[in-house]
Structure 1
């Protein structure tokens, strides 16, 4: 039996791995774009597995072909066709345009890929050279070798360009000596002597003016505006410092638009970030890139034509069929890549349209002219012909606020999944729900015993976090009202220079004037504790208030907003600790200690066998019934970091407020907690999350940057601004 398996492997291993490599390329080019549109762990895991296996399968197959030639001295038609397959594997190593890197760390390994490029190309050359001079397929093999080398080179160069060190250097501007001081002072002296009317000093010789008004923002305008601001703000991810003009232009635009327009522009802008860092966009979208892609595609088509015209007598039928599969597969992959390239946001962003849609104009003190960054003017006439299709595809990508997939038709679901720019939802994680389900229950049913065993095994294997994510993380749609509340909250605070350091205390400092209550009793739970402790306190307090709220108040908008945002922030703290690393402190230990105390309390006080909502309500009621006249720290000291009953005290204080006032205060506090975490999270953590569906906190981070709040990358004085007194 083993001999039969070995014989089968020896005869068909190369064919199997070549087809397996092609299958992985098809999976990647079709499924990889979905990782920016979904936070589903299974989908992302599938893409990750295909990404890892793709390189391994191609390299292994190439090694098998080289080994077969090494140990087989007889070169026949079968050996010729094996040599013909070698450059196909170079094409596969080049990967699809939709994914060059799975994570930011892959871009840092561009040098390893360069070594891989050299070694694998050398291996393919050796395979090709050993088949000469009797190789009947030397012409199509040579053509595919050129195409494969180009594709592999594209991927390596794309990784190099997306490496943060290279990216930082690429956005550096030419040295700027500033205005001519001596010449300016000569004019200044002449003005003083002539005692003329003081002139208007322009900040820059040329300034960007956005002519577009609110009513003119269609889908194409949104894409081109997003591209404009992406070009301006892409330095965020490498701590670039922006000047006053860029700050003012961005602040004026985003401050004057509605929340929905701002969200669309930011979503498209983040899509540009994703494209630059994780795809071949930078390499392809240049004259050299277009030329290289043209040569590569033509070489594949020419190889197909040459192979079709050759006499294939002597070749095995299966080998011929596999070869045609590889050839048509390569052409199909190139066709999909071309389609993706033609109808991408990048193409729309640089295309010139009707004058009504002109967004960006560059003005100077001498003349006015239009300038489009990154445009290849020779392609504009072709691009203009396809603008009706651009409009259609952009319409398909529009955001449907708060509309669940279950309420849509099949066509609507497919459209939304295929064309949305992010997953349009929030991952939520609830403390009370987690503790109730994880507590050591008595009288377990057989299924529950299995669940406990599964938890035990996952803990021992280090997979508990993955298990918790699959079991306890749920998705809630981000609605227009929720985003609008966040946007309005940030916009009205953009004049506050210290907003980056506030995490709820800004609203409490102004609370007396807003709702007429004493705010000092709440400041202890924000200003006097670490961020992670504050987040845990307000999350549990929100749960206690939410589940003990009367039925008639359940329609309060702020109530539902607080509930969702509270669960989302706990999700970031527990499940996405890398995004909260700058503010998390001992968040993991505090969460575990609080869970331990909650489980012990629920085991004693909460009845089993109830419906989930009733169980939650009973758990919250039992916590609020505990006598908290004595501070928990007086009992526990520093032994435990649990904040369960500290949060109970906070909830009791909040429940002394009127319903509208209570949820109004809590919603404002949650917005500040969100914005504080967004502004302190590292930029590379934000862009790293784009490859996994994106997060609301990243939208908030970029919005704060555009509004000039919470981000310390603005140089607020240009020098010449101080001369406005003239």
Structure 2
């Protein structure tokens, strides 16, 4: 009992010190986690970042409240220097350059953060005002006032970035970028003449960012540089840039007025440290309090220096230095930007991974038909299912919520899927607008027509149906047994792997990210209905038996899943895609959505996307993912795939 009382007393004596150190530790974690979450699918990192993001403000506000409620005698006797830490807590509330918002909702709630700034700024000022009679050195008050200035600037920066990243802020910035684009065109023209390779790709991504802004606010504007933006590499860079625009302080670091305020903040912080270090008599305070104060200063310097280095890695910084002909600094910026710690071309992959979920494996009652566990989570789920379902006979529907979390896995982004199939199908859809005949479906046409009602009105059911049927069919493509295997079998197996990835990805979206799909009602109802059907696989097998295994069959399945992905992307709303820029290092469907916008395809662009066309009736401003009319369609298999990919990567000659 005495030991417990002693621990409580010790905690009460050191509570403010622990709170301040915890607040700083959370800021340090957020600085590094904020830069990592854009390129990782780690659920643990996302969860810990979310907890730190929520906890950082809570700890800082609680610490300010703690200081404000202590009377004069108690505070002087315990730790008089603690009042000097109040402005540091305001700096912590200003957040880090690498993360201003955890989600799009934080941006849209910027007014709430503004109210918090007024309340917490007043609270910090009140605590600091109380410290006038408690600190023994007038110079310490001046030093604290300088830190207070830095804290206010930091917090206002955060509010401004949140407002700029909201839907209203994006619309306002898009309009202002009309004049900016003309300036950009004049200033950047000479840079384009000397640029080549990756540098040219980066410049094109920067120049056409106004188009991406317009897409995000569902603007109907046609991009003046649309012929420049039809490239996968450019789109990937732009998604990375847009992530920075929405969820970091990148905008502050390239705005002249805010750069001036940032320099004022930095100078104030340095001056505060010099005054504290040189003129304040440290013997008046405990060694622990002095050490904590030095830790706050040195830690602040470290984070600020890292922020400067991080800003030098920005493509906007590199372009600004090139515009002003500061060649040495521009070369240093490019070196950081293109190095492994920056945005290297070889690692410039958005998304860096994409999710997978095999629903047919979950439906299987026979353990031999289930996928072998790939991850630790799947191994845990396999044990739970074996015990609870196979032995205890619990209805597996009751465990589906666990499967959604544990049976999901992530694979590295498949360049073949993006560069060959997605790019090719987008271009073919766009060519149909110019009169090019639609893709034929000689093998799957009758099946698509049979499930036409599902495709048009019940997208979730269509995905599950085709997913199960695809999984049943792909079992008929075993890997080549030896090096002497026929080339056709090898190609068919490779196509089957691509088809399985696309099928599993669409199921992953349906199970884990249903808001990204055009669903008329909850996906959970559809998933539960399929789990209740006892003969669902038998019914699918009957349909699958009509499909003979061949390279042509599985290739047509790949194109079918690609078209389903394009349809889902074309129906998606801009705010949904913006909100999911932070998920799992970016979603594949977001990249597809942006690539389609460059060709003005999609419901929010010029040409609305419909699912299936079974008659020759034309619809204005509409294009179809599946055209299975009786009209003769030209064979498009002879299209040069390398030429299609080159069109996406290189585009036409730019006019700059």
Q: TM-score, normalised by structure 2?
A: 0.79
Answer yes or no: is the 8 Å Cα contact 2:318–2:333 preserved in 1. Answer: no
Q: CA deviation at 1:587?
A: 3.2
Which residue in 2 is equivalent to 1:593? Answer: 529
1:430 has 2:358 as partner:
yes
In the alignment, the residues of structure 1 paired with residue 242 and residue 400 of structure 2 have an alpha-carbon distance, to the nearest angstrom, of: 28
1:261-318 Cα deviation digits (max 9, x unpaired): x222111100111111111122332111111111111111111111111221221000
The one-character-per-residue Cα deviations of 1:207-242 (angstroms, maximum 9, x if unpaired) are 999999999642222222111121222121111111
Q: Which residue of 1 is the match for residue 430 of structure 2?
A: 494
Deviations 1:14-61 (A, max 9, x none): 000100000000000011111110122111101101101100011111
| Alignment-derived partner of residue 53 in structure 2 | 51
Deviations 1:452-472 (A, max 9, x none): 56999xx99x99676324421
- Tell me, in whole angstroms, the C-alpha distance in 2 between the residues paired with 1:446 and 1:485: 33
**Preserved CA contact (<8 Å) 1:147 1:296:** yes
Q: Deviations over 1:560-586 (max 9, x none)?
A: 111110000010011111111x23645
For the pair 1:238 / 2:217, whether they are aligned, the reply is yes
- Change in CA separation of 1:235 and 1:437 when aligned onto 2, cut-off 3 Å: farther
- Whole-angstrom distance in 2 between the partners of 1:74 and 1:587: 59
The aligned counterpart of 2:162 is: 159
Aligned match of 1:390: 334
Aligned to 1:524: 450
- Checking the alignment, whether the CA contact within 8 Å between 1:58 and 1:93 is kept in structure 2 is yes
* Structure 1 residue 647: Cα displacement: 3.1
Residue-pair matches, total: 571
Distance in 1 (alpha carbons) for counterparts of 2:192 and 2:177: 32
Task: Name 1:290's counterpart in structure 2.
Answer: 259
Unaligned runs of 5+ in 2: 370-379, 481-488, 609-619, 621-656
The answer as to 2:311 corresponding to 1:341 is yes
C-alpha separation in 2, matches of 1:682 and 1:111:
24
**Structure 1 residue 84 and structure 2 residue 20: aligned?**
no
Deviation at 1:495, TM superposition (A): 2.6
Change in 2 beyond 3 A, CA 1:241/1:12: same
Measure, in 2, the Cα distance between the counterparts of 1:213 and 1:225.
9
Change (3 A) 1:80 1:383: farther
Between stretches 105-114 and 386-395, larger displacement belongs to 386-395
**2:578 matched to which residue of 1?**
687
Which runs of no fewer than 5 residues in structure 1 stay unpaired?
Answer: 177-203, 256-261, 353-376, 401-415, 500-504, 602-642, 718-726
Give the 3-state SS of the residue equivalent to 2:519 in structure 1. Answer: coil
Determine which of 462, 466, 470 is the counterpart of 1:538: 466
> What CA distance in whole angstroms lies between the structure 2 residues aligned with 1:652 and 1:118?
68
- Per the alignment, residue 565 of structure 1 pairs with 502
Per the alignment, residue 630 of structure 2 pairs with none
* CA distance in 2: counterparts of 1:210 and 1:437, whole angstroms: 64
CA-to-aligned-CA distance 1:510-545 (integer Å, 9 cap, x gap): 235xxxx68335422245542222211211111011
Partner of 2:16: 14
Say which SS state the counterpart of residue 355 (structure 2) adopts: strand
| Contact 2:404/2:511, CA 8 A, preserved across alignment | no
Note the alpha carbon deviations across 1:422-476, whole angstroms, 9 max, x for none.
Answer: 45222110012223489899xxx999469756999xx99x996763244211222
Query: Secondary structure at 1:427's aligned position in 2?
Result: strand
Residues 319-718 of structure 1 aligned to structure 2 (within 5 Å): 319-352=289-322, 380-382=324-326, 384-391=328-335, 393-396=337-340, 397-398=343-344, 400=346, 422=350, 424-436=352-364, 448=383, 452=387, 467-483=402-418, 484-497=420-433, 507=439, 510-512=440-442, 519-526=445-452, 529=455, 530-552=458-480, 553=489, 555-556=491-492, 557-580=494-517, 582-583=518-519, 585-597=521-533, 644-655=537-548, 659-692=550-583, 693-714=585-606
1:631 paired residue number: none
Q: Which moved more, 1:693-702 or 1:423-432?
A: 423-432
Corresponding residue number in structure 1 for 2:115? 115
In structure 2, C-alpha distance between the alignment counterparts of 1:276 and 1:449, rounded to whole Å? 43
- Contact (CA 8 Å) 1:147, 1:300: kept in 2 or not? yes
Match of 2:5 in 1: 3
Aligned residue number for residue 486 of structure 2: none
Q: Mark the structure with the bigger radius of gyration.
A: 1
CA RMSD of aligned residues (A): 3.7
8 Å contact 2:349–2:413 — kept in the other structure?
A: no
Contact between 2:321 and 2:329, CA under 8 Å: does it hold in 1?
A: no
Contact 1:573 1:584 in 2 (8 A): no
